[in-house]
């Protein structure tokens, strides 16, 4: 007899997904704060367009932070909620004192590269666990962010 949680998923596989999702949540929180900081501190020729774009990006990231935390709860885990935990678990570094548009966009691109890699790994992990809800969430994020990466790269070139 297998040990399943209240939504019918293997409890052990769900616990492994929770760990992966908490790492992803940590990365999202740092990416969010980086985008927020770029929005606040951007200067130069492209101020107006980047100020608006960074706001759009951090709003998208904030929505995903909430969705990931709620998914963790749905599969009966506990989302991290202290910023010290986010800093400890994130593989995306804090960006400080960046006001140059190119540097800010390059930083966001590096962060999205990390997020996309993690999300693909979680997509595979969710598939192995039969967790369609998490797999669907990751698939949606991947599709959206691949397009955003293309657009940010086009902006730099």
CA–CA gap between residue 6 and residue 10 (Å, rounded): 10
Domain ranges of the chain: 14-156
Q: pLDDT of 91-144, one tens digit each?
A: 999 999 999 999 999 999 999 999 999 999 999 999 999 999 999 999 999 999
Taking only the tens place, the pLDDT of each residue in 19-77 is: 999 999 999 999 999 999 999 999 999 999 999 999 999 999 999 999 999 999 999 99
For the 14-156 domain, the top CATH level (class) is mainly alpha
- The pTM for the full model equals 0.96
Angstrom distances, CA of residue 105 to CA of 12, 39, 78, 90, 152: 39, 11, 32, 19, 7
């Amino acid at each position: 007899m297998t040990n399943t949680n209240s939504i019918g998923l293997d409890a052990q596989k769900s616990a492994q997904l929770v760990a992966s999702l908490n790492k992803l949540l940590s990365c999202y929180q740092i990416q969010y704060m980086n985008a927020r900081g770029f929005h606040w501190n951007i200067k130069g020729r492209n101020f107006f367009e980047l100020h608006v774009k960074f706001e759009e990006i951090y709003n998208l990231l904030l929505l995903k932070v909430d969705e990931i935390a709620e998914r963790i709860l749905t599969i009966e885990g506990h989302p991290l909620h202290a910023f010290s935990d986010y800093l400890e678990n994130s593989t995306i570094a804090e960006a400080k004192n960046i006001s140059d548009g190119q540097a800010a966009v390059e930083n966001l691109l590096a962060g999205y590269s990390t997020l996309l890699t993690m999300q693909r790994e979680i997509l595979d992990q969710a598939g192995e666990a039969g967790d369609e809800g998490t797999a669907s969430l990751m698939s949606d994020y991947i599709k959206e962010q691949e397009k955003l990466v293309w657009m940010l790269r086009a902006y730099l070139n």
